[in-house]
Amino acid sequence: MSLRVLGVDPGLTRCGVGVVDVARNRTATLVAVDVIRTSKDADLEERLLAIGNGLERMLDEFRPHAVALERVFSQQNVRTVMGVAQASGVVLFLSARRGLAVGLHTPTEVKAALTGFGGADKKQLGAMVARVLRLDAVPTPADASDALALAICHAWRSGGTAAPTGAALTPAQEAWRAAERSAGRTSGDRRLGT
C-alpha cells in the first residue's frame, strides 16, 4: 500500500499544491499538481476563500492520507510572511476538519531530504523532483515543484505512515504530543473548549 500525501507551498498570490503516492520502498508517483492563483487586487478574505476552495477541491478529489506544509519562517518582508501564514492557516484548518495529519517542514529540511544538501537551490530541487517522480520536465512554476517536494519529503520522513513518527517530530512537537497524551487527548481530538 502506498501513502498519498498532499503537499502545499503556501502563498497568497501562488499556492502550489501537489499530490503524490509513495510506496514503502520510497518510489514516488505523481498524482496531481496545480497552482492556485489569486489576484493581488482582490480583498484578502476573497483571496483566502479562493485558496480554500482550491484546496478543498484537491482534498475531496484526491483524498490524501496526510498533508505536508512548508513551515513558515522569518523573512525580512513581513508582508510576505503574513500572506504565507494566512494561507497556511487555511491549509491547517481544512486538514484538521478532515482529521488529516499535517507535517510541517522547513525549506532546508525538504532540500536535504531530496537532494542530500539543505542548501540546494531551486533548480537542483526541481531537478530532483522530476527525477524522483520520473517526469520528463520539472513542474512549473517553482511553487508546483516545491509542493511536490514537500509531499515527497513528508512521505519519506514519516516512513510511509500517515501520522508522523517520533523520529520525524521536532522536540516541541514531541512535547506537545506528550502533553496531549497526559491530558487524555490525542492529536485527532478536535473539541471546542478543550
Binding residues for Mg(2+): 9, 70, 143
3-state secondary structure of 71: coil
Is 189 one of the catalytic residues? no
Is 143 one of the catalytic residues? yes
Residue 10 one-letter amino acid: P
Selecting among 21, 70, 109, 146, the annotated active-site residue is: 70
Q: Which residues are annotated as a binding site?
A: 9, 70, 143
* Distance between CA atoms of residues 123 and 43, nearest Å: 33
Selecting among 9, 21, 109, 146, the annotated active-site residue is: 9
CB–CB of 155/22 below 8 Å?
yes
Please, what is the Cα angle at 36 between 23 and 83, to 5 degrees? 105
Distances, alpha carbon 87 to alpha carbons 16, 29, 127, 185, 187, in Å: 11, 26, 26, 27, 22
Selecting among 21, 109, 143, 146, the annotated active-site residue is: 143
Is 41 one of the catalytic residues? no
Q: Running DSSP on this structure, what letter comes out for residue 191?
A: -
* Distance between CA atoms of residues 52 and 54, nearest Å: 5
Q: Which residues of 1-15 are buried (b: 16+ CB within 10 A; e: fewer)?
A: ebbbbbbbbbbbebb
* Distance between CA atoms of residues 140 and 45, nearest Å: 27
The catalytic residue positions are 9, 70, 143
